Amino acid sequence: MKKTLKMFLKDDHARIPFSIIGIFLILGSSFTTVYVTKLETEKVEEISNTIDFDEVENLLRYAEADIATALNTAALKGLKMIGETPVTSFSRDKCEEINRNRLKDVIMDELNVYLTGNYLYGSFNDGRYAVDVVIPDGEEYPVTCIDQIGFSKDVVMKMNRFTIPVIGPEGEVKHVTYWVVYVPVKVEVKKLDEPSMNKVVTIRTINVSTIITSRYPFLENLVYEYEDTINGVKPLWSFTTILANIYTLFRGYKHWSTGEPINVVDNVHLAPLVNGGLLMEQGFVFGSVDLMSLVDFTIESGKALQGSIAGSALDEFNEMKDATDGRYNVDTSMLSKDPANKDAGDPFGTKINDCPEINLSEIARVPLYNLASILLYFEDEEGNSLPPVELFQPTGEDIQREVEKQLNMSHRLINVEKGTMIKNETTVDKIKEIISIVYSTEMKTNVKRDPTPIITLGSHNGYPIDNGTSSWVFKSASFKNTIDKPAKGSVLPGCILYGEVYDVYWEREHYYSKNVNGSWSFYTTVDTKTEEDVTLKVILNYYSRYNGTENDIEDVFYRNISVDDENLEDTVEKYVDNYFKPNLDSLIKTGSGDYYIETIHGDYEPWVEVETWDALDEILNMISSIKQNPSINSTTYPDPVDLMEEVKKDLLSKFSSNISKYLNEDVYKNNILFKSVGKKTVYLARVWYVYRIQRDIGKVFNSVEDEITGYLDDAIPSGVGFNEEDVKNTLSGSAMDAVKNQFSIPFGLDIELRNINDEWKENVRLAVDQYPDYLNPWEKVEFNNETFYTMKLRNRCIFGPTGLPLLPPPLPWVVTMNIWVIDVEGEYAQFKVIDSSDETLFNPLFGHEPQVYVRESKVVKNKDQVIGENTRLTYGFTTVTFSIVPSMEFMVGDTTPTFWDEHTPGFK
Amino acid sequence: MMSKKTTKVFVLTLFVSSLLIIVIPTITHVVDAGECKYGTMYAWYSIDGINWEKATVHNARLKRGEPFYIKVNVTTKKDNIWACLKLWETGEKNAENSSFEVINGPCDIYEILNMHTIPQKNTIYTYTWKMRIKADAYWAGGNAPLNVRVQFNKNDYISDDIYFTIANIYIVDELWENYTKEIKDKNISTNNNKNISGSEIIIVLIPLLLVVFYIKKTKIT
């Protein structure tokens, strides 16, 4: 063991020389040194890169900001151009897509120029590092297609503006005001020193994003809003419906009373009315109007409505005294009463009574008198009166046809009067029926027999066996006395009006026999019976039973000499002669109980009918004097159905409060009893008539209201988007109150925009420029080498030059009504909205220029392709107006040859 | 070598023919033309496609279903002008409501015909349509003006237009006797007519013939 260990220790076969170990040690330390040095170098470099990193980041941020500015500038340029020719010929969503793509196209072109001009070859640098844009291989520009450009969430802002409900747009709305655009740009950062030879330090894609500081989207949305406001059943429709009805109302009343104006609804006046409405809506939507349009509106409306001779536009502008606080106030009477008075040749301030002055005379007349004819008075072209034309029992159509026939001969209707009146035979019969019933009484005959008649048997001595009797046979009756009716004033139901008393004698055979030893013998004797005081009475059941009354006449059944009235006295004799005496024999012989219950009609003097009719005439005159409350007029109740309802309530109330006066009961009664049967008849006829009128008032007015509603519903063409309920709601709503005296056209008002969180607000002032300034339906405009009409009007007088009597004869003619259907359409040759408060569009001459949005007719192209069209801003709607006037006189309608279709030249 | 006399005749003939070239086109082509800074447009109307009346034709009366023809010439005044053309009817907004329909032509009514960028000025484009009144035309018994519009663009945003009425047609409320519901065939009948017209050829030929005549005559004498 020791030996082995020793030998192991001494064995040097594996001996490595120290030199070799030393070499390895040197090599190892060298490697270690190099490695450590490398690490140290990297560490140093790392410390150096951290300092460069911030610098590079800063440079990239500057680049991003700079490119964002360029992006905004490019977008502004694009929106400036697009604003002048937006595509509007498709749906709004599609148009927005097309216009955004156009913007992207412009941005791409402009940005590429900017990027290649400023971000290549180290142009954008801070001395040490440069940022260059990366252009994809095979491409010339960094942004190669518009799809690289995108839009982030739009900036929506809310606005509050001055408006009037129903006739103006919404007061608070939210609109997209700004677009936000982004484009990812790939850049490379290079180090600008000789050793690194522009080495690319890093490549980044920076997402450059910016709000485009142009309110193009806001302008576009406002123009769309304006377009919506002026088409169809929208605010402009409501405004025009209200103003046109006020216009028609006053002109209708004027026509009814004077025959002038002959053209109640005249397109000459509708033109300024619609222009005023368009300007008002413009003012509401944009806070501004085209001032020259406002001036022209003042000039043209003055000419058309007041016949004024205007000065120069500048004079008119300076004279616009009604422009205060950014609003131009228009007196509604300029659009209604003034043209009515002007066309009738009256001074402007002449009061026009707009109360229909409905009275109940027609309703009260109809039960009594039929209008057998109507007289129509005409004058010829020279103003000479012509003999009246009498129409017999005419309908409304008959009257209209005659007036149209005369119009074709250039004759003018100047008056309508009632012609011949004849008594209403139905009422004549009714009066006779009342008389017959009141002059009648019911009577019966009652027979009362002797309950214990005296019977005397005949003698039958010697014949004891009773063999029976025959029947009693009437022998005779002896009149004892009559019974007269009760004294005057004591005749009551149940009393005896007449009677006779008799003793009645009867006989019969009485048979006897005897048997004497088997042999029979027979004997007949005569019995007698005496009925004493058999009473035959004529009894009164009731008299003058009518309408819940009976048995209520003073001294009835006694002739009233003072009023010359039979008073049913003759009825007793009539009954006795017709029923009592002819049947007396049987009554005496066999009567017992009640017989011959009959109604007997008494005679009456002629005065009864005469006095009855006179009484009804008296009531007719009293009813005719009821005056309608003048405050119930078309201004207060522009909806004609509401007007009729209020008039009905007023007249009915006045009528009902005078019923006792109409009945005048005291004249016909003494205390509780009627003075005579005739007087009761007259009174009952009054009652019938008064309550008939009371019922008729309700029925007639309800019928008139139904007719108005029905005719209006029929007159409204189909497909126009509204019905009669919409018209009535518009006329009776708060908007009517807002404009019936005056309306304002706002101009020069700032619009305040706020973002959704109310953290940011800005004031915007817009300007509007429209061409032409005044939309004239009689003059074509020339624009871009095209001539055309910018306004087209048509009005149709539905019920001809006379209107419709309501209700039509032979029913009561309470009012006359007419309806006009008005069609409006047109377009602006050019409509431009200018953002005056925008200062972000650069102009080399003026420093800046505003963002605009223009609507006109243009084909829009992009390079060689047609991408759509810009279309003119159009407006259009249909509405209706009424006129309700009292009956007769001039009636109401357009007494012109074109009443059925009056249209301006451009209306196809 | 021409003699002095021949030379004088030649010069005179050339002068006269120049005048004719200027005057005769003015006389023969006096039509309602539109003009703007970028181009001009002429139009004609025909009942048979052979005899043409210059626009605006006011006395046209057609029955429902009856065909007619229109022709339009468009010329640019500057190089590289883009142009487009559209037919339309006064008072209507689209082809569906129009009283007219195209049987044959480069585009439908209310359709925009893209004439693209016309590189050279004075290039004449001629378009012809065969059209007819619709059998159920709404405005039968009334007038329907047929209009044409050309828009010339200098660039995407600068343009000018020409509009006018080719014919104001009164539609008789009767169905045309030969009406059939034929299939419409819209062929492109664009005639990029760079040539001068026949009349102008004659105008140029006449003086040349006169010159030849006089030269020959001179030689004979």
Asked if pLDDT for residue B198 goes beyond 60, the answer is: no
Interface test with A, best of B90, B98, B157 (most A CBs within 10 A): B157
| pLDDT on residue A42 | 58
Return the sign of the alpha-carbon dihedral for residues B134, B138, B142, B148: negative
In which band, very low, low, confident or very high, does the pLDDT at A477 lie, cut at 50, 70 and 90? very high
Residues B26 and B134 grouped into a single domain: no
Exposed / middle / buried, residue A51 (Cβ in 10 Å: 0-12, 13-18, 19+): exposed
Tell me what pLDDT residue A732 has: 86
Same structural domain for residues B124 and B213? Answer: no
**pLDDT value for B30:** 37
Lowest-pLDDT range, A284-293, A485-494, A847-856, B30-39?
B30-39
Confidence at A2, pLDDT banded by 50, 70, 90: low
B161 neighbourhood in chain A, CB within 8 Å = 784-786, 857-858
Task: From chain A, pick out residues whose CB is under 8 angstroms from the CB of B90.
Answer: 788, 908
Chain A positions in Cβ-Cβ contact with residue B108 (cut-off 8 Å)? none
Task: Report pLDDT digits (tens) over A261-271.
Answer: 989 999 999 99
Under the banding of pLDDT at 50, 70 and 90, the label for residue A75 is very high
pLDDT at position B33 over 70: no
Contacts of A788 in chain B (CB under 8 A): 90
Residue A237 has pLDDT above 50, yes or no: yes
pLDDT at B139: 82
C-alpha span between A899 and A818 (Å, rounded): 12
The answer to whether the Cβ–Cβ distance between A861 and B160 falls below 8 Å is no
Tell me what percent of the residues of chain A surpass a pLDDT of 70. Answer: 95
Q: A4: left (phi > 0), else alpha (psi -120 to 50), else beta?
A: alpha
Give pLDDT, residue A318.
60
Return the pLDDT at B212: 64
Pick B157's closest partner by Cβ from A81, A865, A866: A81
Report in angstroms the alpha-carbon separations of A250 from A462, A629, A892.
Answer: 120, 18, 11
Is residue B66 domain-shared with residue B105, that is, in the same domain?
yes
Same domain, yes or no: B37 and B26: no
Residue B32: strand, helix, or coil:
coil
Query: From the list A784, A866, A869, which residue is nearest B114 (CB)?
Result: A866
Tens-place pLDDT, residues A315-341: 656 655 556 677 888 888 888 888 888
**Collapsed DSSP state (helix, strand, coil) of residue A72:** helix
Whether B22 has a pLDDT exceeding 60, the answer reads no
Residue A877: its pLDDT value, please? 96
Whether residues B157 and A784 touch (CB distance < 8 A) is answered with no
Calculate mean pLDDT across residues A161-187.
93
Q: What is the DSSP letter of A337?
A: H
pLDDT band at B207 (very low <50, low <70, confident <90, very high): low
CB pairs under 8 A between A and B: 50
Nearest CA in chain B to A907: B91
Q: Is the confidence metric ipTM above 0.85 for this complex?
A: no
Q: State the nearest Cα–Cα gap between A859 and chain B, in angstroms.
A: 7
CATH number for the domain including B150?
2.60.40.10
pLDDT, mean over chain A: 91
**pLDDT of B196:** 39
Q: Are residues B6 and B58 in the same domain?
A: no
Residues B183 and B221 in one domain: no
SS3 content of chain B, % helix, strand, coil (to 5): 20, 40, 35
The number of beta carbons lying within 10 Å of the beta carbon of residue B194 is 10
Contacts of A782 in chain B (CB under 8 A): none
CA distance B80 to B58: 35
Do B62 and B159 share a structural domain? Answer: yes
Determine contact, residues A873/A831, Cβ cutoff 8 Å. Answer: yes
Confirm or reject contact between A786 and chain B (CB < 8 A). yes
Which residues in chain A have their CB less than 8 angstroms from residue B159's CB?
858-859
Q: What pLDDT is attached to residue A567?
A: 96
Mean pLDDT, rounded, for A517-525:
95
Q: Give the number of domains in chain B.
A: 2
How do residues A880-892 score in pLDDT, each as one tens digit? 998 999 888 888 9
Q: What is the pLDDT of residues A782-806, one digit of tens each?
A: 998 888 899 999 999 999 888 998 9
Which carries the bigger pLDDT value, residue B31 or residue A726? Answer: A726
Nearest beta carbon to residue A908 from set B84, B139, B153: B139
The answer to which of A7-16, A577-586, B140-149 has the lowest mean pLDDT is A7-16
Pick among A101, A785, A871, A873 to test the B interface (most B CBs inside 10 A): A785
Q: What is the pLDDT of residue B89?
A: 92
Residues 6+ apart with CB under 8 A from A609: A431, A432, A435
Is the CB of A785 less than 8 angstroms away from the CB of B117? no
d(CA B4, CA B1): 10
The string of pLDDT tens digits covering residues A721-740 is 999 999 999 988 888 888 88
Query: CA-CA distance, A810 to A708, in Å (whole number)?
Result: 18
| H/E stretch holding A159 | strand A155-160
Which residues from B are below 8 Å from A when comparing CB atoms? 34, 36, 82, 84, 86, 90-91, 112, 114, 116-117, 139, 142-143, 149, 151, 153, 156-157, 159-163
Q: Is pLDDT above 90 for A856?
A: yes
When mean pLDDT is compared across A64-68, A438-442, A507-511, A632-636, the lowest value belongs to A632-636
Judge if B159 and B208 occupy the same domain. Answer: no
> Residue A849: pLDDT band by 50, 70, 90 thresholds?
confident
Per-residue tokens: A200? 């690319």
| Average pLDDT along chain B | 80
Portion of chain A with pLDDT greater than 90, in percent: 68
Are residues B44 and B147 both part of a single domain?
yes
**What percentage of chain B carries pLDDT values higher than 70?**
67
Q: Are residues B146 and B218 in the same domain?
A: no
pLDDT tens by residue, A379-403: 898 989 999 999 998 888 888 889 8
pLDDT at A13: 74
Residues of chain A with Cβ-Cβ distance to B142 below 8 Å are 908
Of A81, A785, A858, nearest to B163 by CB-CB distance is A785
The set of residues, in sequence order, having a beta carbon less than 8 Å from that of A116 and lying 6+ positions away, is: A133, A135, A140, A141, A142
Residue-number span of the structural domain to which B132 is assigned: 33-188
- Cα separation, A840 vs A391, whole angstroms: 77
The 3-state DSSP class for residue B74 equals strand
Mean pLDDT score, A523-543? 97
B201 and B134 fall within a common domain: no
The pLDDT of residue B217 is 64
Name the 3-class secondary structure at A772.
coil
Contacts of A28 (CB under 8 A, 6+ apart): none
Q: Which two tokens stand for residue A208?
A: 């450059």
Please name the helix (run of DSSP H) or strand (run of DSSP E) that holds residue A497, with its range, or none: strand A496-516
Radius of gyration from C-alpha coordinates of chain A = 55
Q: From A79, which residue of chain B is nearest by alpha-carbon distance?
A: B157
State CA A90 to chain mean position distance: 33
How close, in Å, is residue A98 to chain B by CA atoms? 14
Is the confidence at residue B69, as pLDDT, over 80?
yes
Instruction: Say how far apart CA A849 and CA B55 lie, in whole Å.
Output: 43
Across A531-545, A620-634, A702-716, the highest mean pLDDT is recorded for A531-545
Q: Do B157 and B216 share a structural domain?
A: no
User: What is the three-state SS of A853-899?
Assistant: EEEECEEEEECCEEEEEECCCEEEEEEEEEEEEECCCCCCCCCCCCC
pLDDT band at A309 (very low <50, low <70, confident <90, very high): low
Query: Looking at chain B, which residue has its C-alpha nearest residue A102?
Result: B156
Query: What's the pLDDT score for residue A196?
Result: 62
Query: Do B156 and A81 count as a contact with CB atoms less than 8 A apart?
Result: yes
**Which residues neighbour A468 within 8 Å (Cβ) at sequence distance 6 or greater?**
A510, A511
Q: Which of A742, A739, A741, A766 is nearest to A752 (CA)?
A: A766
A36 confidence band (pLDDT: 50, 70, 90) = confident
